[in-house]
A and B are shown apart, each in its own frame.
Chain A
């Protein structure tokens, strides 16, 4: 995992506009990056040190609670030899210097930020440090081997020289940046693996943190949008006579996305919106009701039009052993982040400025430029803190809407979605169905594992949007859709977590079938893992019971002795005192790999008056080298709360093509009173860091379903689960 020097330069070097990025498919040329002042020492796109010594890091990823700012600050601070609390940070502008080298977009997802950037950012810190030391060498005439960087200063080992970075900035900015640097070894780390304070905790505690919702350019008006309840309708006609009489209302007009109601503030806009009479074009064909969709998914499982994603031949005789089968299904889910979607737009002479909390600001920029009909460079994105993302804020439908409104209004405008808008116009986790059958043999071995997955492809819908920002804008939408349709036949998002089984089963085959629906779909925390882990780990439990073997013992039998999964599962089982639960307590286990990490969880229940009650969740994770232990634990716990909300309550249903649920009363989340105590074990590892934002989510639903089976003897194969 060592970057060559050339790769490093390709990733980070944009100083002076001399772009050397290898990836040039972004089409329109990127403007040279201009951050800070000419008197700042700016060794690369990520870092600058101002004349007063203030260090400022550009954060190329969205901070949506996962702690990426703290993680990135810690990595840079470690090598730069400054205390992490002294490192300032800014949300990076859209620029190819910040394009994720793996995903080819400036996107936050796939739990990839620290995995992809940990070495790059250490290099950034080390490179700045060595250049500052070079400046000190020039200034003092001392050689490199008698100088060291320590706590924001360059010091001589004999203590005679102590130069704060501030004093070295003027010299450093005239020196060539030292890029050939040695990174500190793990035994030299002060902060990596130890730093516990979130650097954004204070601003998120005193009310001063600014989210997209808080953008307030001068003279801004507030808009709300009346969208068609079904997803393929447009405005046919509307009557705004009464709405326009509401005090404070400025304008009511139709856009391609719905009828915009603009007022001085949210309240008059929302009040007036309630008085607009709109008719929309009638819904088209296709699957438009949840029950019809569920029936179609189950029917598809019995079809034969499946695309194979894995097909290992079995050695065992196909007639031997006991055939076990299970048919599972999961519903559509909403993201329901606490901050309803919003975006603010101000037109400029040649384009516009957008304030938004986005997981993909380059996608937002591309979408805005298309709506406005200007080059991408004419759109400036000011990325904000995200009041939750979970995948929802990788889409830019809110941005398209606000630009369409601003284009007609010609005044700065903030579009605010209501909670109802947010619930009813999400890009949903698709409903999915799965059928697995396998043979269990007398010795507990498993053969002929056949897993069929039927459901709508996310990437058939989403990739064409993302590719809009990835490719030059002259690439036609039809071509992007063709790629989406092609990927949709074998969508990796549909099958992830099903084909990479950690178990040594004999003859594994996995295949999928795309069932398109006229409902917007999107990435939802852990994406395909969110449903495939439920199906696979529930079914492994079924096999264990069919074999008459304890579920942990059964998994141990099939997980290679030296495997990461086995170590993680054993750690979770040990934390939970598996097999020795107190009287009246019932446990279920699940282990799942996702985003290069491995997580195992044990859910423990009791029965109160015959009704299951969550008592405790035990979690073990191997995510490679931990940067900030407290944040990793929080991500595991948060991922479990997110998963349990879905497993116990989450269900979006559709009627006549429109979403039925509207707010937190009919799409409930776990509350303080519902959340059981949890224990998280971080496994020691010196391997490079892997994902933590999503991997905590997939194992919880199957661990809960398995605990319910242990408690009640009833196997539940459909989410959400029923408690009693």
Chain B
């Protein structure tokens, strides 16, 4: 039996410990917001947080998250400052990569609430977008950074 915290709720399940976290989320737990893109950690569509840090769930065996805390796009709650900025700036086009983009952005802002353009580009360079929403991603992150009173969410400061 494997146990971990998922979006602040305890989860226990029987699963092959080698199974990537991505497929545990999607196939075992029906959390479909985390996307499968490449299976090799190259595109970032599957990005989730592990103890607040952005990881690629497609290449993270679920055994690695035992006893730890996982947050997915669903766990951000929809009203997270990054999500609000994403809607305000109309970031998504097809939308498929955006869960991953948002999780990377939220992790970046939690560790560096005032990133400059260059650190945004560097931090977001692991997330591919075939529609080419990179400028909007950057602008949305900058808009969150510009709000001085924004506090990183509790999950990220653990």
Contacts and interface: CB of A to CB of B under 8 A. Distances in A.
A207 B121 CA distance: 23
Contact of A201 (B38, B87, B96, B120): B87
A338 B94 contact: yes
Interface in B1-54: 16, 19-20, 23, 26-28, 30-40, 42-43, 45
Interface string B39-75: 1101101000000000000000000000000001110
B131 A65 contact: yes
Contacts of A390: 130
A419 B91 contact: no
Given A267-B19, A338-B45, A672-B124, A387 B96 contact: yes
Nearest to B19: A267
Q: Helix, strand, loop or mixed for chain B's interface?
A: loop
Interface stretch (A225-233, A304-312, A470-478, A637-645): A637-645
A222 B138 CA distance: 36
Contacts of B124: 672
A367 to B, nearest CB: 23
Contacts of A266: 23, 26-27, 36
A657 to B, nearest CB: 24
Interface string B122-148: 101111111111111110000000000
A388 interface: yes
Nearest to B82: A205
Contacts of A542: none
B132 A638 contact: yes
A385 B95 contact: yes
Interface in A624-640: 630-631, 634, 637-640
B37 A338 contact: yes
A416 B36 contact: yes
Interface residues of A, number: 65
Interface string A173-205: 000000000000000000000001110111111
Contacts of A389: 94
Interface in B98-124: 98-99, 102, 120-122, 124
Nearest to A265: B27
A213 B26 CA distance: 10
Interface in A203-229: 203-211, 213-214, 216, 222
A669 B23 contact: no
Interface in A106-138: none
Given A206-B33, A206-B78, A670-B132, A198 B45 contact: no
B99 to A, nearest CB: 5
A268 interface: yes
A701 to B, nearest CB: 15
A669 B133 CA distance: 13
Given A197-B90, A338-B45, A65 B135 contact: no
A339 B127 contact: no
B33 A207 contact: yes
Contacts of B23: 265-267
Size bracket, chain B contacts: 35 or more
Contact of A65 (B30, B39, B86, B93): B93
B149 to A, nearest CB: 22
A673 B121 contact: yes
Given A210-B32, A416-B36, A418-B39, A204 B95 contact: yes
Contact of A671 (B95, B98, B125): B125
B32 A207 contact: yes
Nearest to A213: B36
A458 B83 CA distance: 41
Given A207-B32, A663-B42, A638 B27 contact: no
A560 interface: no
Interface in A409-430: 416, 418-419
Contacts of B126: 671
Contact of B130 (A209, A388, A630, A673): A388
A337 interface: yes
Given A198-B90, A201-B86, A672-B127, A638 B35 contact: no
A65 B42 contact: no
Contacts of B35: 211, 213, 338-339, 387
A201 B140 CA distance: 13
Contacts of A419: 37-40, 43
A675 B134 contact: yes
A672 B40 CA distance: 19
Nearest to A390: B130
A66 interface: yes
A51 to B, nearest CB: 29
B93 A638 contact: yes
Nearest to B86: A205
B95 A202 contact: no
Nearest to B124: A672
Interface in A663-681: 663-665, 669-673, 675, 677-678
Contacts of A677: 135
B73 to A, nearest CB: 4
Contacts of A386: 94
A67 B126 CA distance: 25
Contact of A675 (B90, B94, B130, B135): B135
A336 interface: yes
Given A201-B86, A205-B98, A206-B78, 6 more contacts: A266-B36, A268-B16, A663-B42, A664-B43, A671-B128, A672-B121
20 contacts: A205-B91, A206-B83, A210-B32, A222-B27, A265-B23, A267-B20, A338-B128, A385-B95, A386-B94, A387-B95, A387-B96, A642-B130, A663-B40, A664-B43, A665-B40, A671-B125, A672-B121, A672-B134, A675-B135, A678-B135
Interface of B: 16, 19-20, 23, 26-28, 30-40, 42-43, 45, 72-74, 76, 78, 83, 86-87, 90-99, 102, 120-122, 124-138
Interface of A: 63-67, 196-198, 200-211, 213-214, 216, 222, 247-248, 264-268, 336-340, 385-390, 416, 418-419, 630-631, 634, 637-642, 663-665, 669-673, 675, 677-678
For the complex of A and B, list the 10 residue pairs with the smallest distance between their C-beta atoms, beginning with the closest.
A207-B33, A641-B132, A204-B95, A387-B96, A65-B94, A65-B93, A207-B73, A265-B27, A204-B92, A638-B132
